[in-house]
Structure 1
Amino acid sequence: MEFRIEHTWDGLPVSHEPVTIGLRPDNAGLLMEVRAPFFNDPPAPPGEPGKPFGGLWDYEVVEAFFLSGRTEAVFRSLSFVPMGKYLLLLLSGRRKAWKEGLPLEFEVTRVKTKWEGKALLPWSYFPPCTDKFNAFAIHGSGEERKYEVLYPVPPHELQEGQEPDFHRLKFFKDFNLKELTGEEWTLPESEIWKSLSK
């Protein structure tokens, strides 16, 4: 399964080769592969590659959100792929993070103006009944900051003075893990998400 981020948050076409996100199942989780232009803007955050790093949404980043539409439980994977840092947040409801800094198998390669990243997203990180998805790419500094999205805000929903907001869950689209794993597959129970309901 492959997705191409071809629009800005408000529906305009991007002016460069689109970011692509590939998803395929593995026994241990979902393999996510990102291919994207490398803008090197803003400069990389400090810290060690291959480690979690907070506030990545302020840098050049690709994000994938997996949502349970029933509970608004969100597994949010932020990958600052160009420099090898990442951040995983588990959210319950809109902007309510309850777990972060979770470990992740992650690797990145960069060649001049392009980069590729691969991450294994463990099944235990996905909320029960995951059925919605959206993905985002952000780069640039100051007034040149660009917010790109797989499923943008529809034109009839745009309002004057509106700012990009990737937590508008109603614009996420249907996503069925069984299209990748087969109809007989079921998402393994997760002790992580069970702990939220206690």
Structure 2
Amino acid sequence: MEFKIEHEWNSSPVSHDPVTICLKPVPEGLQMDVTAPFFNDPAAPPGPPGNPFHGLWDYEVVEAFFLNHDKEQYLEVELGPHRHHLVLLLTQRRHIWKECLPLSFEASIKEVTWRGSALLPWEYFPPSVDRFNAYAIHGSGSQRTYESLYPVPEKEIQVGQRPDFHRLEYFKPFNFHMLMGEEWKQPESNLWKM
């Protein structure tokens, strides 16, 4: 399953090759592969590569959100070109109840492109995921750019509105059965039982 982020958060088209996110089933969970332009702006986060980095959303990053729409439970996965990552579990809008979970993630930069691959364990997904959205952020100061797979429709933009990736009403339907087959059942998560 492949997704291309072709618009900014407000529905304006991006001015570069789109970020591509590919989701593939593996026995332990979902493999998330990212191919993205490398802007090197801002510079790498100060934390050690390969570790979770709180506040990664302030750097160059690609994000994927997997939502149970009825319960407003969601998994947020953030991946950066310098091998930093951040995994958040949220309930309701923006309420983080678990963060900085470990993640198997590799990334490499080649000239003007970066590629990353992460294994998202089934344990991290809330039950009955049925919505999805993805984002990309880069740039500094007035050049900060927020991109969205499913952006806010242009006609709904309010004067002075800012990007907000937790507008769950703009997420679109997502079905694991398209990846896993109709007989597949999402494994139960001990994390989400709490």
Structure 2 partner of 1:181: 180
Structure 2 partner of 1:66: 66
Structure 2 partner of 1:6: 6
1:156: how far off? 2.1
Q: State whether structure 2 residue 146 is matched by structure 1 residue 147.
A: yes
* Structure 1 counterpart SS, 2:97: strand
Structure 1 partner of 2:191: 192
- Figure out how many residues of one structure are paired with residues of the other and give that number: 194
Q: State whether structure 2 residue 115 is matched by structure 1 residue 116.
A: yes
Structure 2 partner of 1:36: 36
Q: State whether structure 2 residue 167 is matched by structure 1 residue 168.
A: yes
In structure 2, what is the Cα distance between the partners aligned to 1:71 and 1:166?
A: 18
In structure 1, what is the Cα distance between the partners aligned to 2:175 and 2:123?
A: 16
* Structure 1 counterpart SS, 2:179: helix
Q: Over the residues paired in the alignment, what is the CA RMSD in angstroms?
A: 0.6
In structure 2, stretches of 5+ residues that fail to align are none
In the TM superposition, what are the counterparts of 1:16-165 in structure 2 within 5 Å? 16-80=16-80, 82-165=81-164
* Structure 2 counterpart SS, 1:124: helix
1:147: how far off? 0.3
CA-to-partner distance for each residue in 1:86-127, whole Å, 9 max, x for gaps? 000000110100001111111011101101000000011010
CA-to-partner distance for each residue in 1:155-192, whole Å, 9 max, x for gaps? 22111110000000000000001100000001001100
TM-score of the superposed pair, with normalisation by structure 2:
0.99
Q: What amino acid does structure 2 have at the position aligned with 1:136?
A: Y
* Structure 2 counterpart SS, 1:63: strand
TM-score of the superposed pair, with normalisation by structure 1:
0.97
* Structure 2 counterpart SS, 1:57: helix
1:73: how far off? 0.1
* Structure 2 counterpart SS, 1:161: coil
In structure 2, what is the Cα distance between the partners aligned to 1:26 and 1:131?
A: 19
Seq. identity, %: 61
